[in-house]
Structure 1
């Protein structure tokens, strides 16, 4: 009797596992279908992402692999029946890959989902009311491991000659946060010998921006140390030649941080 019971239990377990496995494979297939194929992905990146255009063929292949990996791990979810395209998803992934591209084995371990809003939103994540002035945000509390981006700002950041990129800005915040503190000191990527020079230079720049001695850096960077790091990182990735010309010491420290291979 016991053997018969064990056989029945085993049969039920096998059937359950088989059913779950079918559902899993179907969900994975549906998920994969949301990712552009290799040719389409290459076309989108060539048309939309200047950073990708400047890479050689081998680096472009690596970038595409990182895009696929990102899209398999991170959900990108439109809200309020917003329609987003494959290109929009690729832009989100590209914004995440760009700051980490030279770090071959790195991925965001503090992000599960990116919510795409139809427009600006309030600091409490609301799309209603008159105080909707936020373009992007890394969530906290109940929204931990979640990023929010407005669709217009996501697209605007990849327009040729754009001076800012909200999505890159928010991913830099995640990178900053990965060492346990969002404090503008990216200890995970900044060499130990550069920490003190970075802190000194950062505070000097914040003071000068507040005193309006510097006008080519977004003044939002003077809000605090975390915003300074995110703002100048946008500048570094959007217009590196200009940053090098205008602020060579700042450029050198950022280049040393973001472009060292690990």
Structure 2
């Protein structure tokens, strides 16, 4: 019983504080995400909360380039949409997402130009 409590406490402690939803993201979602646009106002609020919960648990970084805000939003939306119907879903085995600026070649390198 104590072990379960420790595991539960550790998982909760590992999560960062959930930040408030940035107001201007609502417009970006309406313009770029049909799924979000088709939700009722109440479900949009739940969707926003789920987005921010995801961001509190998973970091998103660009590798050797600056990640734009819309990129980050679309990545989060891509994670939330498939599990939106599951009330308390968390990606327990995902801690970070790295976005690379180019394709990988057969040597698993990117951004290498060949003559």
User: Into which bin does the TM-score normalised by the smaller protein fall?
Assistant: 0.7 to 0.9
Unaligned runs of 5+ in 2: 1-15
Q: What is the match of residue 77 of structure 2?
A: 94
**How far did 1:124 drift?**
6.0
Unaligned runs of 5+ in 1: 1-27, 131-262
Q: Distance in 1 between matches of 2:27 and 2:52?
A: 14
- Counterpart mapping for 1:155-166 below 5 A: none
SS in 2 for 1:127: coil
Q: What is the match of residue 117 of structure 1?
A: 100
Q: Distance in 1 between matches of 2:112 and 2:51?
A: 35
Superposition TM-score, scaled by structure 2 size: 0.74
Q: What is the match of residue 84 of structure 1?
A: 67
CA RMSD of aligned residues (A): 2.4
Would you tell me which structure has more helix in proportion to its own residues?
1
| CA gap 1:69/1:129 in 2 versus in 1, 3 angstroms | same
Q: What is the match of residue 229 of structure 1?
A: none
Q: What is the match of residue 104 of structure 1?
A: 87
User: Please, which of 35, 39, 42 is the counterpart of residue 51 of structure 1?
Assistant: 35
Moved over 3 A (4+): 122-125
Structure ranking higher on relative contact order (CA contacts 8 Å, 6+ apart): 2
User: Please, which of 52, 60, 72 is the counterpart of residue 56 of structure 2?
Assistant: 72
Matched length: 98
Superposition TM-score, scaled by structure 1 size: 0.34
User: Which protein shows a greater Rg?
Assistant: 1
| CA gap 1:98/1:124 in 2 versus in 1, 3 angstroms | farther
